[in-house]
Amino acid sequence: MPMKTWVMRIFIVLFFTLAAFSPAIAADLKEIDGTALEAMMADGKAMMIVDVREPDEFAAGHLKGAINIPFRPAKTRVLNELSPKDRIVFVCHGGPMGHELGTLLSQNNYPDVYNLIGGMKKWKGSVVK
């Protein structure tokens, strides 16, 4: 076989091997706005809302049913405490911390992960204390 054919075959095998093990294609983080989150909260399906703000911010007002896992220890905690079977929504103050943690879960094959765009800063719905 000519060298060009071998190189092409190696390239194809390498491409598909990398694609199969790439965490980026295993699952995707979904970015949602407040309206979409309100619809999810009303649809009756189970959901874990994870507020990653500091405990004092959480105590000042959070989404009904949310749990508080502060961002600093969250990277180790979320993989240990949250199940890939759950529908998980991350909420932070402005969005980036929830995005980071949602991406972490998505890269670890959690298929149903969301981040609230703009976080609590843009949330217009009700909060509880």
Model confidence band, residue 1 (pLDDT cutoffs 50, 70, 90): low
pLDDT of residue 23: 42
Percentage of the chain with pLDDT > 90? Answer: 77
Angle between helix 71-81 and helix 96-107 axes, rounded to 10 deg: 30
Model confidence band, residue 95 (pLDDT cutoffs 50, 70, 90): confident
The first and second tokens of residue 96, run together, are 């980036």
pLDDT of residue 88: 98
On whether residue 9 sits in a domain, the answer given is: no
- Looking at per-residue pLDDT, the higher value among 14 and 2 belongs to 2
Give the count of domains, the chain.
Answer: 1
On whether residue 95 sits in a domain, the answer given is: yes
On whether residue 35 sits in a domain, the answer given is: yes
Model confidence band, residue 96 (pLDDT cutoffs 50, 70, 90): very high
Average pLDDT, the chain: 87
On whether residue 8 sits in a domain, the answer given is: no
Task: Give, rounded to a whole angstrom, the gap between the first and last alpha carbons of the chain.
Answer: 71
SS3 for 17-63 is HHHHHCHHHCCCCEEECHHHHHHHHHCCCCCEEEECCCHHHHHHCEC
On whether residue 12 sits in a domain, the answer given is: no
pLDDT in tens, 9-68: 665 544 454 444 444 444 689 999 999 999 999 999 999 999 999 999 999 999 999 999
Determine the structural domain holding residue 32 and report its residue range.
26-122
Q: Taking the mean position of all CA atoms in its chain, how far away is CA 73? A: 16
pTM: 0.79
On whether residue 96 sits in a domain, the answer given is: yes
pLDDT (average), residues 72-94? 95
On whether residue 90 sits in a domain, the answer given is: yes
Say which CATH number the domain at 102 has.
Answer: 3.40.250.10
Task: Find, among 29, 37, 52, the residue nearest to 112 by Cα.
Answer: 29
Q: Does the pLDDT of residue 71 top 60, yes or no?
A: yes
pLDDT of residue 25: 43
On whether residue 111 sits in a domain, the answer given is: yes
